[in-house]
């Protein structure tokens, strides 16, 4: 068992939390932690800080399914590959995240390191849908990390407060688009318009 077992995390984690472990947690130890703590998701920032997240609420789970279906439908006709929230991605700065959905063009997918459990390449596009257990400030840190590591498009959807944040090539910070029903994902995904209203329809009731 890894040394990061500081307490019974399953009993205490109701919202996403950040932990500073006593040493750098390698990929294999991340896998061990997830196996030990079952439903919790463990991610790693470039400075070694761990982000521990409990399961999403059902409303967000439905939204994530819709989000991934839209990405997969578009990618089937336009090339590349869409991946869901269970896919860990190791970025160039050694951070390790599992976005709610990602899109890889054929070019980036071909460059990715597929020899390990986690995909070793930044995607063209990353999408995050806040659940009630997520914290906006912490998810914003992930968005900034995506942009820093070369993700061409980042979309963060806060359905509960009705804000959509979008970052593109060259941005250090995402822009708050407010309460919008769609986002044009060009040029990272040419011609793809993400239907935000469909993703958030249950949260907006």
Q: What is the pLDDT of residues 64-115, one digit of tens each?
A: 999 999 999 999 999 999 999 889 999 999 999 999 999 999 999 999 988 8
Report pLDDT for 13.
64
Question: Which of 84-88, 144-148, 167-171 shows the lowest per-residue confidence on average (mean pLDDT)?
Answer: 84-88
**Going by DSSP bridges, is the β-strand pair 125-129/153-158 parallel, antiparallel, or unpaired?**
parallel
> What residues are paired with 185 via a beta bridge?
none
Find the mean pLDDT for residues 152-162: 95
pLDDT > 70? residue 4? no
Domains of the chain: which residue ranges? 9-53, 58-199
Q: Taking a C-beta distance cutoff of 8 angstroms, is the pair 133, 102 a contact?
A: no
In CATH, what number does 58-199 get? 3.90.1570.10
pLDDT > 90? residue 3? no
Report pLDDT for 10.
46
Q: What is the pLDDT of residues 171-201, one digit of tens each?
A: 999 999 999 999 999 999 999 999 999 999 9
Q: Is the dihedral of CA 110, 115, 121, 127 positive or negative?
A: positive
Per-chain mean pLDDT for the chain: 90
Report pLDDT for 12.
61
Report pLDDT for 137.
93
This prediction has a pTM of 0.91
């Amino acid at each position: 068992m890894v040394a990061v077992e500081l307490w019974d995390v399953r009993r205490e984690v109701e919202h996403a939390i950040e932990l500073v472990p006593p040493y750098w947690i390698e990929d294999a130890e991340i896998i061990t932690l997830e196996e030990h703590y079952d439903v919790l998701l463990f991610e790693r920032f470039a400075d070694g800080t761990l982000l521990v997240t409990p399961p999403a609420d059902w409303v967000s789970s439905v939204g994530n399914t819709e989000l991934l279906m839209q990405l997969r439908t578009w990618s089937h006709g336009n090339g590349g590959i869409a991946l869901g929230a269970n896919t860990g991605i190791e970025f160039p700065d050694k951070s390790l995240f599992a976005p709610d959905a990602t899109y890889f063009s054929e070019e980036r997918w071909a460059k990715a390191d597929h020899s390990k459990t986690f995909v070793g390449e930044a995607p063209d596009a990353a999408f995050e849908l806040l659940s009630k257990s997520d914290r906006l400030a912490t998810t914003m840190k992930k968005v900034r990390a995506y942009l820093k590591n070369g993700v061409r498009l980042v979309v963060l959807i806060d359905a509960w407060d009705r804000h959509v944040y979008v970052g593109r090539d060259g941005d250090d910070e995402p822009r708050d688009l407010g309460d919008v029903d769609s986002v044009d994902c060009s040029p990272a995904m040419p011609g793809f318009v993400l239907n935000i209203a469909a993703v958030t329809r249950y949260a907006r009731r």
